[in-house]
Amino acid sequence: MTKEALKSYPVGGPLVARIANSETIQVPTFPNMQEIGNTLEPEKAYEVGNTIGGYLKQLGFNLDFAPVADVAVNPENQVIGPRSFGNDPNLVSQMVAREVEGMQGQDVSAVLKHFPGHGDTVEDSHEQAAVSNKTIEELRGTEFLPFKAGIKADADMVMAGHISIPTITGDYTPASLSEQIITGCLRNELGYDGIVITDSMSMGAIVNYYDPAGAAVMVIQAGGDMILMPQDFLAARQAVLDAVNNHTITEERLDESLHRIYRKKLGRMKK
């Protein structure tokens, strides 16, 4: 929970593009990422990232909640749909990597979302729990690939989605709160040591099942670094402080997150 989130916007295409859809700010616009993917030209994704990163930097923003690294494998999925580059994990991987490189070439941090992949769900995590019944082997062969490509491209951040994967966790704990997924899959298996931020903690997949205080503590315990938009900020903040004071969360664990955040901030400031 830092002021970093206040200097960021999701600008990943016209479906979720706060600035490009603004009536008061004139910036270049692009079609949905599905249309960019349909060109089969990864350089188009680089152009998207570089252009968006350029105008965001001029406007004073230092990160963008993009690109969408989800693979649109489920035609019934409505929450991701045309926000994804497509249903081919290899193509999506190429597009994601190039968008990251284009955006971060402008010194605007890119955020891969929504780990471990929201493209196979039917449910909308804005409203309720979203579940994928894929096995870890299936995830490795599809959903993980664009995230691996984005990580290789040195993406500053990954957004953990509120997707439940019971084949991994044994229950319906969302990925954003799961140590097995954030630490086990993302950090240990994919080798990611950058910043992990949650999707909005005010979404139905969280608030319908967890209180803001308990959920905030679970994020840090799971290996997350930043808690985005908790439903009750003061309660979430106090819960994390209390958890550190009573040793539910160790100071060492908290320091890991601080080091990741400051390493990225200072790295961008020096460029």
Just list the catalytic residues.
Answer: 126, 199
**Nearest partner of 67 among 118, 114, 18, 31, judged by Cα:** 114
Reference 206, options 107, 266, 129; nearest CA is 129
- Main-chain dihedrals φ then ψ at residue 160, nearest 5 degrees: -85, 125
The bridge status of strand 63-64 relative to strand 8-9 is parallel
> CA-to-CA distance for 42 and 34, rounded, in angstroms?
12
